[in-house]
Amino acid sequence: MTKSASSKSALQEKEGISAPEIVNIASAAQLKKLRSRPISAETLTKGIVSGAIPALSQAITLIESTNPNHLEKANQVITACLPYSNKSVRIGITGVPGVGKSTFIEAFGKYLTGMGKKVAVLAVDPSSTISHGSILGDKTRMEELVKDPNAYIRPSASGETLGGVARKTRETIILCEAAGFDTIIIETVGVGQSETAVHSMVDFFLLLKIAGAGDELQGIKRGIMEMADAIVINKADGDNIKKAQYAKTEFNRALHLFPAKKSGWTPTVTTCSSITHEGITTVWDTISAFLELTAANHYFEEKRAGQNQYWLMETINEQLKQHFYTDTNIMASLESYKKAVQNNEISPFAAASVLLEKYFK
Ligand SMILES: Nc1nc2c(ncn2[C@@H]2O[C@H](COP(=O)(O)OP(=O)(O)O)[C@@H](O)[C@H]2O)c(=O)[nH]1
Ligand SMILES: [Mg+2]
């Protein structure tokens, strides 16, 4: 992998350069024209592979665009970047709002960059469409990481279906890896279907929890616990240490009831504090042990191959759906058929047949 580290942080890229007082109007116009000239996929790819953050950010913006020309260029860049990606570990982190995900990622991310790793933080957050990107607020909890030249934080794409956001995140992973990021952290909110989407794009899935008053296991979705490779009980500091220890015992007991994992890995339960950083090292040790085991038994590569197949099918499904629902014929008549179905004037199957016929005509 090309790994010429860039000295530019994610922040610097946002800093605009204000125009000097005296500037040659003609040359400024020329410069502007030059700047707005679309950069070729080849130039972008070269930039990404050399570790240039502005090129990486531009390519991700293309991925997030709805302009078909942008999408085509994005696809060219992704394809060109593919040979450079894959040499990484992808870690999914989930947990309900307030559990401390952002604070944890700040502490964990700094620990990783301190070890010489290059860390990219991405988010799959379908709720950000409503809250206008909650990760923006999160960035303030990642004050140190945001400034770290070996970290890159990118909020999730918004205004989209979960499927759309997930595909874009998945493509963004490839670009980040080509840019030399060897540790990819994908954060998601512990509500709804986003965990499943994130689980299908990571190697290791971490569930963050906090200790309650003996009711740790209530209200936790069985499916999410089943997906977890590690449960980390956060906020194990101050008065909370005892409760966190108790929660650890409870979760360990509960995990024993789940069937053995295909990976051969036994999920772990540990405690940590994202404030005092106690237990952060243990989290990385756990992930290292997982990587060692799954490299030896080949589960790691099998899982990634399976994920590629899954994303092939998901992308086809998603784009077919999108194409259908944005078809002018369909957009013109879908609502009236919905009403007709509601009023029992036509069966849902007959209505679907009519609409699909319109679409394929
Ligand atoms: N005492 C303590 N507070 C924490 C810890 N981690 C996070 N917090 C606090 O919990 C609140 C929510 O944290 P945040 O990272 O925004 O949670 P998120 O919604 O899961 O991203 C903030 O006030 C944090 O300061 C921890 O390990 N110990
Ligand atoms: Mg957060």
Buried b / exposed e across 138-152, counting CB within 10 Å, b at 16+?
A: bbebbeebbebbbbb
- The pLDDT assigned to 16 comes to 46
- The pLDDT assigned to 166 comes to 87
Q: Whose CA is nearest to atom 9 of ligand 1?
A: 100
- The pLDDT assigned to 79 comes to 94
Atom of ligand 1 lying closest to residue 106 CA: 15
- The pLDDT assigned to 24 comes to 61
**Ligand 1 within 6 A of CB of 141:** yes
CA distances from 207 to 195, 203, 223, 249, 300 (A): 10, 13, 12, 16, 19
Sign of CA dihedral 137, 138, 141, 144: negative
- The pLDDT assigned to 264 comes to 94
Domain 85-297 has CATH 3.40.50.300: yes
CB 55 within 8 A of CB 74: no
**Ligand 1 within 6 A of CB of 100:** yes
- The pLDDT assigned to 98 comes to 86
Atom of ligand 1 lying closest to residue 137 CA: 16
Residues of the chain with CATH 3.40.50.300: 85-297
Q: Tell me the CA–centroid distance for residue 314 and ligand 1, in Å.
A: 34
Structure tokens at 1: 């992998």
**Ligand 1 within 6 A of CB of 99:** yes
pTM of the model: 0.83
Atom of ligand 1 lying closest to residue 96 CA: 20
- Where the chain has pLDDT below 70, the residues are 1-37, 86, 126-140, 157-160, 190-192, 213-221
Q: Tell me the CA–centroid distance for residue 83 and ligand 1, in Å.
A: 38
Sheet holding 268-271, edge to edge: 151-154, 119-124, 183-189, 89-95, 204-210, 230-234, 268-271
Ligand nearest to the CA of 155: 2
- The pLDDT assigned to 155 comes to 80
- The pLDDT assigned to 89 comes to 97
